[in-house]
């Protein structure tokens, strides 16, 4: 596919634990990954949450696209390369005794490409998590776009029902083009892949994984920034 008929994009998915850790280290990791889009989980949700998220975006040379407390934690940041068509924060049905969950969503244009984007943080409870995966797929299908990327903290490893439900319809970017580290949890002794980025068919995944060895990404910063490791995907999206 010739370059003029597609857009090369960099997407980072990152659980930032409400910025309760080393924010300077978090900023350094994000900046080093040079993302066009950042799919945030556990964005600040309480006192002055908008100012905290705006401070993070500004320090990373990004802007807030959608989400935060209005999506129960997921958020999307972007660089100025992205032209925003529309955004929507979605609150999912509340199960008694469980945390409220939601999706941050947007439709953006990058170069000649038009792309749906979704950030999620799925339930700790397996049945609720499975139902939320179905809602995620329905949401992508209803965005009115041919190409979309979704990512986040799934709270489940590959092989689980929820992971399988998503990867049966979408491309699991790590499986398609592994690049970097696989495991995202825990930050000090990573042994589980519970964070992932997915892409619709037709998007060419060039590489995906924890950005170990990425220029400027320092192991100490990864350990200090938050309690998850980030996932970086590089993909080529066909132009409209």
Distance of alpha carbon 174 from its chain centroid, rounded? 13
- pLDDT for res 2: 47
Does the predicted model carry a pTM greater than 0.95? yes
Report the pLDDT value the prediction gives residue 22, as an integer from 0 to 100: 98
Q: Which residues of 139-158 are buried (b: 16+ CB within 10 A; e: fewer)?
A: bbeebebbbbbbbbbbbbeb
Q: From first to last of its 240 residues, what are the pLDDT tens digits of the chain? A: 444 579 999 999 999 999 999 999 999 999 999 999 999 999 999 999 999 999 999 999 999 999 999 999 999 999 999 999 999 999 999 999 899 999 999 999 999 999 999 999 999 999 999 999 999 999 999 999 999 999 999 999 999 999 999 999 999 999 999 999 999 999 999 999 999 999 999 999 999 999 999 999 999 999 999 999 999 999 999 998
Instruction: Give the three-class secondary structure for 112.
Output: coil
pLDDT, position 105:
98
CA distance 224 to 168: 35
Question: What pLDDT is attached to residue 3?
Answer: 47
What pLDDT was estimated at residue 4? 57
> Coil, strand, or helix at residue 5?
helix
Q: What is the pLDDT of residue 1?
A: 41
Residue 95 sits in a domain whose CATH number is 3.60.10.10
Domain extent for 93: 3-238
Report the length, in residues, of the chain. 240
Assigned token pair, 97: 């005794």
Domain count, the chain: 1
């Amino acid at each position: 596919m010739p370059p003029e008929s597609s857009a090369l994009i960099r997407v980072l998915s990152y659980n930032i634990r409400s910025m309760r850790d080393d924010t300077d280290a978090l900023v350094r990791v994000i900046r080093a990954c040079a993302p066009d889009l950042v799919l945030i989980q556990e964005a600040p949700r309480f006192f002055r949450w908008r100012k905290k998220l705006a401070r993070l975006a500004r320090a990373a040379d990004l802007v807030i696209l959608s989400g935060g407390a209005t999506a129960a934690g997921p958020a999307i940041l972007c660089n100025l390369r992205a032209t925003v068509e529309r955004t929507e924060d979605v609150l999912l049905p509340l199960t008694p005794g469980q945390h409220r969950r939601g999706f941050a969503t947007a439709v953006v244009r990058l170069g000649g490409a038009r792309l749906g984007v979704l950030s999620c943080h799925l339930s700790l409870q397996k049945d609720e998590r499975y139902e939320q995966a179905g809602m995620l797929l329905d949401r992508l299908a209803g965005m009115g776009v041919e190409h979309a990327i979704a990512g986040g903290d799934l709270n489940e490893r590959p092989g689980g029902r929820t992971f399988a439900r998503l990867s049966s319809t979408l491309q699991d970017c790590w499986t398609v083009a592994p690049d970097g580290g696989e495991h995202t949890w825990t930050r000090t002794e990573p042994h589980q892949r519970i964070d992932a980025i997915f892409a619709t068919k037709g998007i060419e995944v060039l590489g995906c994984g924890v950005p170990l060895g990425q220029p400027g990404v320092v192991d100490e910063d990864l350990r200090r920034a938050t309690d998850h490791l980030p996932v970086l995907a590089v993909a080529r999206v066909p132009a409209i």
